[in-house]
């Protein structure tokens, strides 16, 4: 089977986690970059990438790379591509472009326009007709990446972003992206070998992704559509083979999800039912300061508290101080991870940080801090 140059997009800070995932599904020549991982694989690896990778946002298959001197040469190179081998005249398409450090292309819209013109002229010369552009539900998604005078043209195999797992029915005020949630769990090292606790669960993304990881449920289990299904080489039998039920791991521990908001807990329960993991998660409506659990000593706690951005808190510092106090006195022996864009509030946790990572929650740069929780003073250990 033919091998292709592939690129998986992700969030900043998750590149190495994604690279590890790609290795597990059989990707070759893996090279992490900035918010991307480059690798090689055949059609089966493309299908596996979309179905199994938890920390990928989309998977691109390179179809052309070239260097150009000016806009006219760029257009000519684009027109030379055998577009009728990629999609037919009756299929709609859209072009998504990114441009950096280019004197010829000041913005991505101009680059997309030039590629669109080249495709339209290619088909007009061959058939007298041109395919339609559809920005909402295109059959074919073309990705154009320009850096200086280098251009990579790829096919987007995913279509909708892979964070759309298709289990979220209801979301809260500031929902955590599924890819980010899965990345946070994988960065913590938790694989279902102890209890998992999310005491500020919102609409339930972290506990649901944890249930998927613990039981080895594919990230794309509930996805119905991928852009590669509109490609001329789409192999339905191969996709069915990839989606054959994998060995579901037996999960013997507990996943706890709680929130001070009753509506948040109800939303999380609805989403967990849709994801078919409701029976693996123990839900509770309570303030974290009142949460009492019978847990394994080496439990992992992951918290995404308010940052004072999208969700307002009248006493953010007090909230973080309470989190630190509860972790210290109620969860000795456990490991906690906290994601926050508020560096000042994180200081109120008042616990020694054993690891600090940088992640992005949307456009917000966040600290993702690890705390090893001891009883007594750390110096006494």
Mean pLDDT, residues 145-169 taken together: 95
Distance in angstroms (rounded) separating the CA atoms of residues 309 and 312:
6
Q: Which residues pair with 366 in a beta bridge?
A: 359
CB 204 within 8 A of CB 267: yes
Of residues 132, 216, 209, 141, the one with CA closest to residue 175: 209
CB 229 within 8 A of CB 137: no
Band of residue 379 on the pLDDT scale cut at 50, 70, 90: very low
Q: Which residues pair with 94 in a beta bridge?
A: 141
Q: Which residues pair with 153 in a beta bridge?
A: 64, 144
Q: Tell which CATH architecture fits domain 4-156.
A: 2-Layer Sandwich (3.30)
Mean pLDDT, residues 222-230 taken together: 96
- Taking only the tens place, the pLDDT of each residue in 233-271 is 999 999 999 999 877 788 999 999 999 999 999 999 999
Mean pLDDT, residues 141-145 taken together: 97
pLDDT over 70 for what percent of the chain?
Answer: 96
Of residues 99, 185, 176, the one with CA closest to residue 364: 176
More confident residue, 312 or 346: 346
Task: Record the tokens describing residue 15, joined without a space.
Answer: 């590149």
pTM of the predicted model, to two decimals? 0.94
CB 139 within 8 A of CB 92: yes
Mean pLDDT, residues 205-229 taken together: 96
More confident residue, 131 or 173: 131
Residue-range domain boundaries for the chain: 4-156, 178-216+240-380
CB 154 within 8 A of CB 50: no
CATH of domain 178-216+240-380: 3.40.50.150
Query: Which own/partner pairs from 286-291 qualify as long-range (CB within 8 Å, at least 24 positions apart)?
Result: 286/258, 286/260, 287/260, 288/199, 288/200, 288/258, 288/260, 288/322, 288/323, 288/326, 289/322, 289/326, 291/199, 291/258, 291/326, 291/330
Helix residue spans in the chain (DSSP H): 15-24, 43-52, 71-80, 108-127, 178-188, 205-215, 236-242, 262-274, 316-330, 343-346
Angle 178-179-184 from CA coordinates, rounded to 5°:
95
Of residues 162, 160, 159, 156, the one with CA closest to residue 53: 162
Which residues are CB-contacts of 159 (< 8 A; sequence separation ≥ 6)? 141, 225, 226, 227
Task: Record the tokens describing residue 369, joined without a space.
Answer: 């801090």
pLDDT over 90 for what percent of the chain?
Answer: 88
Q: Which helix (H) or strand (E) holds 28?
A: strand 28-32
Assess whether pLDDT exceeds 70 at residue 94. Answer: yes
Distance in angstroms (rounded) separating the CA atoms of residues 22 and 45:
9
More confident residue, 5 or 297: 5
- The residue to which tokens 């760029």 are assigned: 74
pLDDT in the model for residue 312: 57
- Taking only the tens place, the pLDDT of each residue in 174-204 is 679 999 999 999 999 999 999 999 999 999 9
Task: Record the tokens describing residue 247, joined without a space.
Answer: 């060995």
pLDDT in the model for residue 202: 94
HSE-up of residue 200 (Cα within 13 Å, Cβ side)? 22
CB atoms within 10 A of CB 48: 24
* Sign of the CA dihedral running 285, 291, 297, 299: positive
Please classify residue 160 by burial: count the beta carbons closer than 10 Å to its beta carbon, then call 0-12 exposed, 13-18 middle and 19+ buried. middle
CB atoms within 10 A of CB 118: 19
Mean pLDDT, residues 295-305 taken together: 93
- Taking only the tens place, the pLDDT of each residue in 32-66 is 999 999 999 999 999 999 999 999 999 999 999 99
Band of residue 308 on the pLDDT scale cut at 50, 70, 90: confident
């Amino acid at each position: 089977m033919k091998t292709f140059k592939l690129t998986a997009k992700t969030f900043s800070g998750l590149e190495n986690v994604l690279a590890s995932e790609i290795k597990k599904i059989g990707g070759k020549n893996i090279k992490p970059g900035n918010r991307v991982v480059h690798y090689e694989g055949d059609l089966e690896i493309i299908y596996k990438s979309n179905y199994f990778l938890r920390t990928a946002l989309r998977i691109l298959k390179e179809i052309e790379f070239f260097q150009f001197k000016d806009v006219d040469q760029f257009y000519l190179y684009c027109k030379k591509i055998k577009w009728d081998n990629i999609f037919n005249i009756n299929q709609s398409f859209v072009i998504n472009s990114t441009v950096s450090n280019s004197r010829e292309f000041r913005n991505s819209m101009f680059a997309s326009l030039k590629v669109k013109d080249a495709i339209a002229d290619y088909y007009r010369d061959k058939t007298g007709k041109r395919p339609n552009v559809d920005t909402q539900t295109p059959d074919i998604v073309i990705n154009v990446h320009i850096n200086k005078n280098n251009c990579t043209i790829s096919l987007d195999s995913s279509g909708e972003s892979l964070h759309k797992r298709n289990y979220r029915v209801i979301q809260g005020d500031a929902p955590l992206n599924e890819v980010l949630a899965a990345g946070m769990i994988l960065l913590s090292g938790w694989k279902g070998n102890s209890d998992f606790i999310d005491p500020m669960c919102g609409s339930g993304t972290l506990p649901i992704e944890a249930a998927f990881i613990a039981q080895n449920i594919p990230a794309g289990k509930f996805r119905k559509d991928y852009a590669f299904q509109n490609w001329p080489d789409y192999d339905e039998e191969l996709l069915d083979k990839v989606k054959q039920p994998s060995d579901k791991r037996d999960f013997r521990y507990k996943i706890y999800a709680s929130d001070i908001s009753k509506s948040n807990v109800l939303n999380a329960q609805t989403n967990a039912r849709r994801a078919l993991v409701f029976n693996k998660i123990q839900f509770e409506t309570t303030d974290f300061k009142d949460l009492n659990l019978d847990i394994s000593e080496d439990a992992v706690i992951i918290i995404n508290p308010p940052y004072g951005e999208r969700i307002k808190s009248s006493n953010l510092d007090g909230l973080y101080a309470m989190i630190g106090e509860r972790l210290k006195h109620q969860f000795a022996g456990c490991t906690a991870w906290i994601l926050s864009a508020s560096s000042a509030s994180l200081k109120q946790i008042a616990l020694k940080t054993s690891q600090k990572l940088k992640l992005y929650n949307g456009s917000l740069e966040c600290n993702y801090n690890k705390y090893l929780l001891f009883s007594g003073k750390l110096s006494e250990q």
